[in-house]
Amino acid sequence: MNIESYRNHCLSKRGVTEEFPFDESALVFKVAGKMFSITNVDNFVSFNVKCDPEHAIELRECYAAVLPGYHMNKKHWNTILVDGTVPDDTLASWIDDSYDLVVDKLPKRLKEELNKR
């Protein structure tokens, strides 16, 4: 996966925005104002995604490319190394899972607004 395919996949999700809230390098993808993925646009070697705590541990045990979330709550976030050891479709599914986790926690009204888009 390269930065373009990562970005395009994130933006393909319903209601997603991209922002640089921290600095000019940290690209953050949000849905309804809630972050679901972040990466460094200047050095795309990894990205962070939100993950169910139990599943996060499982992924870390199964994949050398999955680490506790760098600069994030390590219980809820994983850092995914983009080193070619994990297929792109698997990486995309982890982005999807992160997005879905965030959407599932949104209030009913916001979920309804997303479904109208």
- Residue 48: per-residue pLDDT: 97
Q: In this predicted structure, what is the pLDDT of residue 62?
A: 96
Give the per-residue pLDDT at 41: 96
Residue 38 lies in a domain: yes
Q: From the DSSP assignment, how many helices (H) and strands (E) are in the chain? A: 4, 6
Domain range enclosing 65: 3-110
Residue 115 lies in a domain: no
- pLDDT lower than 70: segments of the chain: none
User: Is 7 a member of any domain?
Assistant: yes
Total structural domains within the chain: 1
Q: Is residue 116 part of a domain?
A: no
pLDDT digits (tens, 9 = 90+) for 66-79: 999 988 888 999 99
CATH of the domain at 51: 3.90.1150.30
Q: What is residue 59's predicted lDDT score, i.e. its pLDDT? A: 97
Burial of 7 (0-12, 13-18, 19+ CB in 10 A): middle
The verdict on residue 16 lying in a domain is: yes
- Answering whether pTM is above 0.75, one says yes
Q: What pLDDT score was predicted for residue 51?
A: 96
